[in-house]
Amino acid sequence: MTKAIKLLTALPQTQRERLMELAQEVSFAEDSRIFEAGGTADRFWVIRSGAVSLDQRVTPQQRVTVGSLGAGDLLGWSWLFPPYQWDFGAEAFSAVRAYEFDAAAVLALCVEDPLLGLSLVRIVAEILAHRLELTRGKLMEHYSLHRPV
């Protein structure tokens, strides 16, 4: 299994510095909802400390955790792709400190600096591929544990 890719450390220093000029420090209390599936994806975060659970609603009363994120991880990628709506929900599993980025400002920076834009899209794609690989492994593990003999 490949190691998780961290957005800020994967960017070259000059590109990271340009992106960080747009960062705002935010925090979320334990158990607070950060966003809901279907909501407008107009920002993203890089977690500085704490843990976030990604979830999917399976019934009106029940959510299933589909992933968890920690320090250095990218929270939110739906801001890059139409229809710009969250695919999952996110909740602070513990107190969270993060850098928040406004999607419109980042996209404008990517137009101004196409190399930064290309780097950012490639890194987000690598992050998504890694998460897909982890999910596939979990599904295979679940299948092998629950398959009829």
**In CATH, what number is assigned to the domain containing residue 11?**
2.60.120.10
First CA to last CA across the chain, in angstroms?
A: 28
Residue 54 falls within a domain, yes or no?
yes
Q: Note down pLDDT in tens along the chain; length 149 residues.
A: 456 679 999 999 999 999 999 999 999 999 999 999 999 999 999 999 999 999 988 888 888 888 899 999 999 999 999 999 999 999 999 999 999 999 999 999 999 999 999 999 999 999 999 888 877 777 777 667 666 65
Domain containing residue 108: 7-144
Specify the pLDDT at position 143.
67
Residue 149 falls within a domain, yes or no?
no
Q: Which of 64, 58, 69, 65 is nearest to 28 (CA)?
A: 69
- CB-based contact 113:18 (threshold 8 Å): yes
Domain total in the chain: 1
Residue 91 falls within a domain, yes or no?
yes
Distance CA 35, CA 33 (A): 6
Specify the pLDDT at position 60.
83
Q: Radius of gyration over alpha carbons of the chain, in Å?
A: 16
Specify the pLDDT at position 67.
86
